[in-house]
Structure 1
């Protein structure tokens, strides 16, 4: 039987060039606090301490400060029955193929985390989490690979790897237009650096869209909706993306043609390379073939 997990984290602030907002810094160093809302809840609940005293949302931190987070602060998993494919699982993490239409986590019932609670194999680690916790997110309409940690130590290591861009992700997408053979999109989003590399796998003529392209997208950074916005900015809207289509005509009723198909990272415990891949949905190739026939 696994030992009861220790529910306390401590961090000594170091390496800052200037004071930083406590909320932002805590989100970076405590992976369990995966949003500003989670940090603020920890502060409101008295679980986040600065130099031994209850922290305040307006606090700033400087080198030498000590932060302590008590308790997981995880909401109790809510019952949600969904058929989610587990692609890989061990004692430290689980990788699933998220269906389009449900969230990874958050204050709602239809989430991957809720669906896995009680379904994923419990971790035998001493610092086991009460249920698998997502280390990153993909959009609700996006299908594909999501990595969730099963222990506190795995969560911390994987979250740090994401922050340091040591976890490589690749997506497949069908987009409007004829894309270049390969390239890099370097356009800031909301004032933050955002970079996407891409390569074209196939281009077909289309009566409705002139051309459709099957592309591999490799985000170097991880901004919200980065791939969808970058492709729209390059006049290569992802097929089915009604949120960013504006007045542009696209295929509706068949979902977003974007799938997270590959994750590459070092195992948080052994350090050995992990390379997990899935194929995109069959509809990706079907629509390419259909456009060929129509033309």
Structure 2
């Protein structure tokens, strides 16, 4: 079977020769990072001027880099996922609590997307829809999915530039101040978290709770959980910092997202209701 080229790129300007592994990760839509480009090279999916390339090859102006269609067979996890929005380029879905976003397991949201979303009719569609960011396994809420190479690159760039606004509803232990900002590095990387108090719930038995709206800038792993714990306001149900939980599971849910559409540039805001367990907690 003849290999299928899914992207072709001509190097139109380059002052001096560089390694193809350094160039490809920032110039091709199908491989928006250096790691993803090197992975494609290892899988023998990268051609340089019609020949299979390795990561040591040098490229110059006028060279043609091509990406071949992946022959990888993706597993399908057949569960129902709520779709908030979908078009030919992207989708917004509701990730349920307890489900990994992606990874080397069968039961992930990524493996459930092909049975819950329509295949894009765009020529430059991805082999399968792809989450462009993650939510912790125990968390729930809105998640951005790319369906085309253009969307993958554009949405990833928006996230890297911190222009995607994500708002989380959290129930935490303790009675928090009205507003606040935590500026605390996570694994030596900068991280800022802003929170706004919505309501406090007095409790003699548990010491009280706070309902918070939280916005994060960078999205480091477990950022909200680490930062709120540093203030003494551990997220209810957080097994990283176990405390008695009068409810069920982790009370951390992304309920609002604002981004620019990857094709039209239109500013779009998506909202969804809070899970039932949040309403039950208040009662």
For Structure 1 versus Structure 2, the TM-score category normalised by the shorter chain is 0.7 to 0.9
Structure-2 residue corresponding to 1:292: none
**Which residue of the other structure, out of 270, 273, 280, is the alignment partner of 1:279?**
273
Contact 2:255 2:271 in 1 (8 A): yes
Q: 1:118 offset after TM fit, Å?
A: 3.7
Q: Matches of 2:119 and 2:69 in 1, distance apart?
A: 17
For 1:265 and 1:279, how far apart are their aligned partners in 2? 19
Question: Relative to structure 1, is the Cα distance of residues 229 and 72 closer, same or farther in structure 2, using a 3 angstrom cutoff?
Answer: farther
Q: How many residues align?
A: 275
Corresponding position: 1:227 with 2:186: no
CA 9–93 in structure 1, closer or farther in 2 if over 3 Å, else same: farther
Gapped regions of structure 2 (runs ≥ 5): none
TM-score by length of 1: 0.80
The one of 246, 262, 266 aligned to 1:268: 262
Determine the C-alpha separation between the residues in 2 that align with 1:224 and 1:261: 18
Structure 2 length-normalised TM: 0.83
Q: Can you list the C-alpha shifts for 1:19-65, whole angstroms capped at 9, x where unaligned?
A: 9xx68x97666675588864553343344689995215xx9x9xx9x
Alignment of 1:198-277 (within 5 A): 198-242=195-239, 244-245=240-241, 248-251=242-245, 254-277=248-271
Secondary structure at the aligned position of 1:206 is classed as: coil
Q: Residues 38 and 8 from structure 1, CA distance in 2 versus in 1: closer, same or farther, beyond 3 angstroms?
A: same
* Distance across 2 between alignment mates of 1:80 and 1:239: 29
Q: Does 1:7 align with 2:7?
A: yes
CA contact (8 A) 1:177 1:212 kept: yes
Task: Structure 1: state its 5+ residue gaps.
Answer: 290-295
Secondary structure in structure 2 of the residue aligned to 1:283? helix
Aligned-partner Cα distance in 1 for 2:13–2:197: 44
Measured on the aligned residues, the alpha-carbon RMSD in Å equals 3.4
